Amino acid sequence: MRVVGCGGRQGAQFTAPFSRDLSYTPPQLMKGSDVTILQSLLLRSPHVSGLVASGEYGEATKNAVEAFQSGNKLSDDGIAGAETTNLLLDLHMYDGYKDSGTVLPGFKYKVYIPVFKNRSVEVSASLYDADNNLRFSFPVKTHGQNAADGTALNMLAGDGSTPTGLMTFDLNTPEEDVKDFGPYPVNRAVQGLAGNAAFLISDIRDGILMHTGDFDPSLPLPNSHGCVHSWPADIKQVWQILVNDLGVVVHNNTFGKLPYPYKPQGLLSIAIVD
């Protein structure tokens, strides 16, 4: 959430994933996932052109920050501080990604999840086969952890909501922690292809799974650390349809080890629909 004190810049507080002033500091350039995210969002600004998301705050990034600032009537000092990054999140955090309504050739399934900006709302995920036939629909939740102030961490932040976009997805043997991840095979987001997932997964965020757990059925689905949560019976059903009907193989769980050693068999598509 934006916190703007009176007087502007001085009172502004950073919003995750941003936590420090980012600036051009030659000869040792600032580096990090926050720089990559900054650049990726700047590329969505109509005031910015000719920038490459390199993860290094070079001169082109300074110029892009100045163009974003002056285009949005902020003081154009070329430093991405709290006020600038908060406005960047407000304007350009959403990727505009839309599901294509098809399944890319070479994949055996797609899970499509239309979500609302308010990730507390449980939504319906749809499992499609390679021929784009709907095989199963089931309730899911894509809300990550909350920040210290009680607001939801956004999808760009570690432990925040599940990122939107298109990504490869693959069936893995169950996690070892049955209480938190359930006893059934899990699906793992492997590589982002479009939208926010393209730059987040798996360079910046990994361990994004679709799984269940020992969830209290009398309560709403619990918040995750970025995973897609669903009920035990539904995750079991997904696994059985994938293996018995769609010819998907259960790959040995990599427990996050990179590079991912198998060819992912499916796709995960998550789009904001409000």
The residue ranges that bind ligand NAG (CB under 6 A) are: 118, 120-121, 252
Q: What b/e sequence results for 98-129 when a residue is b if at least 16 CB atoms lie within 10 Å of its CB, and e otherwise?
A: ebeeebeeebbbbbbbbbeeebeebbebbbbb
Picking from 91, 93, 4, 95, the residue whose alpha carbon sits closest to that of residue 47 is 91
Cβ nearer to ligand NAG, comparing 69 with 172: 172
Encoding tokens for residue 268?
């995960």
Cβ nearer to ligand NAG, comparing 52 with 249: 249
- With 0-12 CB in 10 A as exposed, 13-18 as middle and 19+ as buried, what is 263? exposed
In the complex, what is the shortest distance from the CB of residue 261 to ligand NAG, in angstroms, rounded to a whole number?
8
In the complex, what is the shortest distance from the CB of residue 90 to ligand NAG, in angstroms, rounded to a whole number?
16
Amino acid residing at 32:
G
DSSP state for residue 163 in the 8-state scheme: P
Encoding tokens for residue 125?
């995920």
Cβ nearer to ligand NAG, comparing 212 with 253: 253
Residue 192: what are its φ and ψ, rounded to 5°?
-70, 140
Cβ nearer to ligand NAG, comparing 50 with 150: 150
Maximum alpha-carbon separation in the chain:
62
Cβ atoms within 10 Å, residue 206: 18
Cβ nearer to ligand NAG, comparing 158 with 220: 220
Q: What are the start-end ranges of the H helices in the chain?
A: 33-42, 59-71, 82-92, 178-181, 196-200, 232-240
Picking from 100, 159, 110, the residue whose alpha carbon sits closest to that of residue 131 is 110
In the complex, what is the shortest distance from the CB of residue 6 to ligand NAG, in angstroms, rounded to a whole number?
25
DSSP state for residue 31 in the 8-state scheme: B
In the complex, what is the shortest distance from the CB of residue 103 to ligand NAG, in angstroms, rounded to a whole number?
25
Cβ nearer to ligand NAG, comparing 39 with 223: 223
CA distance 215 to 209: 16
Cβ atoms within 10 Å, residue 220: 14
Cβ nearer to ligand NAG, comparing 35 with 157: 157
Cβ nearer to ligand NAG, comparing 121 with 178: 121
In the complex, what is the shortest distance from the CB of residue 169 to ligand NAG, in angstroms, rounded to a whole number?
19
In the complex, what is the shortest distance from the CB of residue 72 to ligand NAG, in angstroms, rounded to a whole number?
25
36 in Cβ contact with 156 (< 8 Å): no
In the complex, what is the shortest distance from the CB of residue 205 to ligand NAG, in angstroms, rounded to a whole number?
23
In the complex, what is the shortest distance from the CB of residue 187 to ligand NAG, in angstroms, rounded to a whole number?
17
